[in-house]
């Protein structure tokens, strides 16, 4: 925790230009070689920009109110005089204050549009609050607040943060991102029917930001045969893809295409995809039109519209190889052809949603 706090302090000084030239150069080199640190810097910059924009909007409102106070309201409410000279005189008397108020109104509209455009969803305050929590906790986590009355076996307090996971086997092994469950005291998962189950972390890979968790709840029933298969080979640019995740308490579909065969800063272990994602999507499956599992949603680029990153599926296979084969049951990798192939998107989603879970983390 101390190291995390120190890192946040360094990032703060770096963005505010307080580091020396040597220190800044060393940090930029570290940032270039560590995607996790680079993502923290991007998230922190987004947070600072959002707070600055919000402050500017409040300042504009104050100036508008001050300008409005200088206008002669009594003249405006006086008996109506339709003669053009009345309008001319009114304008001459109050034109300075009216012009100032109009200018501030225009600037305020532009500022509010800018904030909403940058967040790319309704409820910009919710997005900002999630970023505040993420910076405060010094974690590269996707933040969610969950208050679900059906969580009978889960802790009473709401989950501190969470994300998405998906089934790798029929007997309860799920894949998600390491940053979703990192530092958790307890982990629960919730299926599409709203049922919650206790889980435990059985594998962690910090290099690829992957984790495998196992449902250990006695009330969990074995799933049917998995509908998707892990694709071993890379896919090309322009391939249509989609993801299902939990940026809110209900599953949300995101559709797009592969925009680059490499991730952030040329990272060959990830794809860049043009799909809008939000806090809570992290750990969600990335599938192609044929129902092949090609990756795991892991991060988003705040400064690029609709740019997200997904760890390639070959690294999920490597993670699976670290789990004893006799405990895995039937691996998804053994499926020769996905049952989703040839189905419409609607029918694919009707099947896939039963294998995608909301991850709820407590600490």
- Number of domains the chain is built from: 2
pLDDT tier at 190, thresholds 50, 70, 90: very high
Based on the domain organization, do 203 and 315 belong to the same domain? Answer: yes
- Give me the pLDDT at residue 69, please: 66
CATH number at residue 153: 2.40.10.120
Q: Are strands 229-230 and 210-215 parallel, antiparallel or unpaired?
A: unpaired
Based on the domain organization, do 330 and 265 belong to the same domain? Answer: yes
3-state helix, strand, coil in the chain (%, to 5): 40, 25, 35
Based on the domain organization, do 115 and 160 belong to the same domain? Answer: no
CB-based contacts of 195, cutoff 8 Å, min separation 6: 150, 219
Q: Is the pLDDT of residue 247 over 50?
A: yes
Q: Would you state the torsion angle of the CA atoms of residues 328, 329, 334, 338, taken in this order, to the nearest 10 degrees?
A: -100
- Give me the pLDDT at residue 306, please: 78
Domain that holds residue 100: 2-136
Based on the domain organization, do 236 and 90 belong to the same domain? Answer: no
Residue 349 CB neighbour total at 10 angstroms: 16
Distance CA 166, CA 211 (A): 11
How many helices, marked H, and strands, marked E, lie in the chain?
10, 13
Domain end call among 110, 136, 162 = 136
Distance CA 109, CA 106 (A): 5
Domain end call among 101, 119, 136 = 136
78-134 pLDDT tens trace: 554 455 555 555 545 555 554 445 444 444 443 433 333 333 333 332 322 334 344
- Crossing angle for the helix pair 35-69 and 21-33, nearest 10 degrees? 120
- Give me the pLDDT at residue 117, please: 38
Nearest to 210 by CA among 290, 287, 306, 321: 321
């Amino acid at each position: 925790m101390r190291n995390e706090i120190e890192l946040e302090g360094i990032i703060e000084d770096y963005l505010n230009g307080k580091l020396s030239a040597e220190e800044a150069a060393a940090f930029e080199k570290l940032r270039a070689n560590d995607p996790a640190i680079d993502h923290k810097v991007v998230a922190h910059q987004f947070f600072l920009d959002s707070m600055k924009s919000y402050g500017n909007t409040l300042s504009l409102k104050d100036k508008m109110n001050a300008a409005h106070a200088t206008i002669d309201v009594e003249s405006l409410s006086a008996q109506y005089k339709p003669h053009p000279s009345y309008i001319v005189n009114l304008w001459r008397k109050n034109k300075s204050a009216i012009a100032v108020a109009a200018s501030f109104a225009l600037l305020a509209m532009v500022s509010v549009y800018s904030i909403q455009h940058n967040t790319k969803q309704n409820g910009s305050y919710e997005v900002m609050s999630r970023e505040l929590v993420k910076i405060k906790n010094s974690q590269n986590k996707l933040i969610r607040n969950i208050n679900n009355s059906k969580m009978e076996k889960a802790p009473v307090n709401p989950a501190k943060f969470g994300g998405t996971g998906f089934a790798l086997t029929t007997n309860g092994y799920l894949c998600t991102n390491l940053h979703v469950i990192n530092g958790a005291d307890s982990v629960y998962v919730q299926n599409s029917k709203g049922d919650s189950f206790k889980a435990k972390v059985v594998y962690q890979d910090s290099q690829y930001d992957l984790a495998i968790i196992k449902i250990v709840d006695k009330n969990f029933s074995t799933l049917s045969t998995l509908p998707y298969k892990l694709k071993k080979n890379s896919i090309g640019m322009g391939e249509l893809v989609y993801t299902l995740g939990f940026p809110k308490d209900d599953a949300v579909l995101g559709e797009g295409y592969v925009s680059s065969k490499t991730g952030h800063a040329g990272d060959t272990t990830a794809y860049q995809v043009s799909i809008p994602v939000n806090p809570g999507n992290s750990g969600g499956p990335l599938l192609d039109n044929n129902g092949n599992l090609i990756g795991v949603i892991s991060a988003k680029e705040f400064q690029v519209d609709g740019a997200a990153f997904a760890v390639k599926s070959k690294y999920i296979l490597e993670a699976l190889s670290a789990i004893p084969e006799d405990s895995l049951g039937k691996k998804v990798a053994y499926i020769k052809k996905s049952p989703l192939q040839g189905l419409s998107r609607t029918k694919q989603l009707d099947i896939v949603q039963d294998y995608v879970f909301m991850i709820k983390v407590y600490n």
